[in-house]
Structure 1
Amino acid sequence: MQKTIQVPKPTYPWPTIQSPLSGTFYEEENNWYDRDYQFLSSEALARYKKMRLVDVGPYMVPTITDRDKVRAIARFVIYMTITDDYVELLPVAEIAAFRDRIFDVMMGDDPRPEEMGILRQMQTGRKEWIALGMPDFWMERIARNYKYRFIADGIMEESPYKISKDIPPVSLFHLIRANSIGMIPFIDQISPLTGFALPDFIYNHTVIQRLVMLEAIIVALQNDFASIKKEIPIESEMFNIITLLQHHNKLSFDEACAEGMRIHDEFVDEFVTLSNHLPDFSPYQKETEEFIYYIKLMISGLNSWYYRSGTPRYEPGGYPVPPKRNGETDQD
């Protein structure tokens, strides 16, 4: 009889809040899939419709009750997730072309009728941000973070390892995963929620950027714990802290889980320390503290979504495996 895998769950030293909007966007989500994601296979679409990805938005911003604001975040979650799933094993030149086109659309270029519908979702997202009062400098910030931090420094750096099945050193893994998890542009979504975009002198400050990076690393690690059962049978999925620690440190699965959680908790401790000792960002101290507060809710909210939303994404057979480089579909 196969041994049942026991995987620990992360916890956080701040409250996890339940959103009243969880479960309210399913019909809209299905309409988005049917209208703008027809470039996916019918099997992939069927799996996405069961994942409840649209609920990631409410879970991560649980104190926001404005449906327009939460819808914009939910839309972003879906097209960011599908971007990652769809391109991760494509040739680098194809990823780069898609990356550049995404940037153009996020900066205001209209998708052509023959282009993939995901670009129309991105165009709609831009219109939502404008309606929520976002300035041009913020538009460029999120577009650049999506292009460079998420795709170029994340997916495109991760992809060669997934194709070759090589395993990077743990220190490099943290940096690549922090980008490929997509949380750096996702954090930008706090600004439409609050109606205030942090000015560059605050956003680019060393402490704020370290907190942004820590959030991304922490979320990447919590994702590793949530997804390890799903990833074990997928040949290309080597980018998981548990797998890396087993390989590099010659640990058993249980030992790697314990060490991975210790690493996770160290990053959480650093995040808490820095967030409790922010520099003076006058006259925007209150807005900066609010920004950090929402980052905390995003961390604990996403962790809650993994275990409480009922998503099958991290169960065997629930994940839409990406196309191989030759255009075929990998098997799960």
Structure 2
Amino acid sequence: MSKQFNVPKPVYPWETLQSPFAGAFYEEETNWYDQDYQFLSKEAMARYRKMRLIDVGPFMIPAATEKDKVLHATRFAIYMTVTDDYAELLPIKEIAAFRDRIFEVMMGDDPRQEEIGIFRQMQTNRKEWIDLGMPDFWLERIAKNYKYRFVTDGIMEESPYKISKDIPPIPLFHLIRANSIGMIPFVDLICPSTGFALPDYIYNHTVIQRIIMLQAIIVALQNDFATIGKELAIESEIFNIIKLLQHHHKISFDEACEEGMKIHDELVNELVTLSNHLPDFSPYQKETDEFIYYIKQMISGLNNWYYQSGTKRYEPGGFAVPPNGKGETIERVEIKYF
């Protein structure tokens, strides 16, 4: 018998486009898994094939109407997810070595024949970005964001908490999750999708950087609501805003959901306000407006992916449920969204 929990879904104050490429890349996905992901266990491969990660690109970049301007993001979404799942099981020193090798390949070094196939996917992605007109400064930007923001400030900061089961304060949790969710390098993918590499002076502007950070925190919170069933099923999983609010504020599950969604909605309101009051970025105001538009579509598009794509990543069978301290499996839970 399972316990039932009622969980709200995030909503957004802008219209979300529907990509013509949703469901269109399953042949490519199968080929990638067969050719470059055989270093994963058979169990892991079976789970990945159920996740529909191939649709993350179309859902998050729904405004792109050319196949090659979506496919690169789908390739990235898969190896970014595998990077997270693979690295979090490694000791910190091995994560650092893996991270450094990723950076070298993303900067143009050829994968060695004996290396795991994920590096070939990264090399192919770099070639796709070059074919889409991305300059060297942008290639270095995404490589650095992947190395430092995603792996170093995200996965490597989150890993000790997952091992120790310590519970971070909520402000620190937001920062770690904003990085570990991988959205800061993912936002970079807007540029090859639009065909315009946002110049450094615009990308590094305080307002643009705040909007990017807001996107990352919002998506992390969105993920917490969509994945709470997994965290409830695995007793040791504490890196979720709902669980942290329950712990720190000594409140019920329903109250934590309400408080977590309030935090989410306030951040969305801030993003909308900033996007409506951008500085003058002439002569690239139109391109900057498009960049912000794509950020909004990424947020709501990923939200739709959780509930509309049919992904099994966060259901029993899509993730491994460990035994608890008494040698029993964690009780199954049922999530009802409203």
Secondary structure of the 1:22 match is coil
The CA deviation string for residues 289-314 of structure 1, in whole angstroms up to 9 with x for no partner, is 10000000000000000000011111
Greater CA deviation, 191-200 or 227-236? 227-236
Take 1:82 and 1:245, find their aligned partners in 2: how far apart are those partners?
28
Q: CA deviation at 1:195?
A: 1.0
After TM superposition, the structure 1 = structure 2 runs for residues 1-332 of structure 1, keeping only pairs within 5 Å, are 2-319=2-319
Take 2:50 and 2:313, find their aligned partners in 1: how far apart are those partners?
8
RMSD: 1.3
Secondary structure of the 1:6 match is strand
Letter in 1 for 2:128: E
Take 2:100 and 2:109, find their aligned partners in 1: how far apart are those partners?
11
Contact 2:51 2:313 in 1 (8 A): yes
Contact 1:60 1:301 in 2 (8 A): yes
Take 2:236 and 2:187, find their aligned partners in 1: how far apart are those partners?
28
Flag structure 1 segments of 5+ consecutive residues without an equivalent: 323-330
Contact 1:48 1:320 in 2 (8 A): no
Q: CA deviation at 1:319?
A: 2.1
Secondary structure of the 2:162 match is helix
Q: CA deviation at 1:235?
A: 4.1
Take 1:138 and 1:63, find their aligned partners in 2: how far apart are those partners?
21
Letter in 1 for 2:260: G
Q: Structure 1 pair 11/197, CA: closer, same or farther in 2 (3 Å)? A: same
Take 2:140 and 2:235, find their aligned partners in 1: how far apart are those partners?
37
Q: Structure 1 pair 236/83, CA: closer, same or farther in 2 (3 Å)? A: farther
Identity of aligned residues (%): 77
**Counterpart for residue 325 of structure 1:** none
Take 1:236 and 1:122, find their aligned partners in 2: how far apart are those partners?
32
Greater CA deviation, 308-317 or 101-110? 308-317
Take 2:237 and 2:121, find their aligned partners in 1: how far apart are those partners?
28
Contact 1:146 1:185 in 2 (8 A): yes
Take 2:228 and 2:263, find their aligned partners in 1: how far apart are those partners?
16
TM-score normalised by the chain length of structure 2: 0.94
Q: CA deviation at 1:236?
A: 4.1
Secondary structure of the 2:196 match is coil
Contact 1:85 1:320 in 2 (8 A): no
Secondary structure of the 2:7 match is coil
Letter in 2 for 1:20: P
Contact 2:142 2:188 in 1 (8 A): yes
Contact 2:133 2:192 in 1 (8 A): yes
Letter in 2 for 1:303: N
TM-score normalised by the chain length of structure 1: 0.95
- Number of residue equivalences: 324
**Counterpart for residue 328 of structure 1:** none
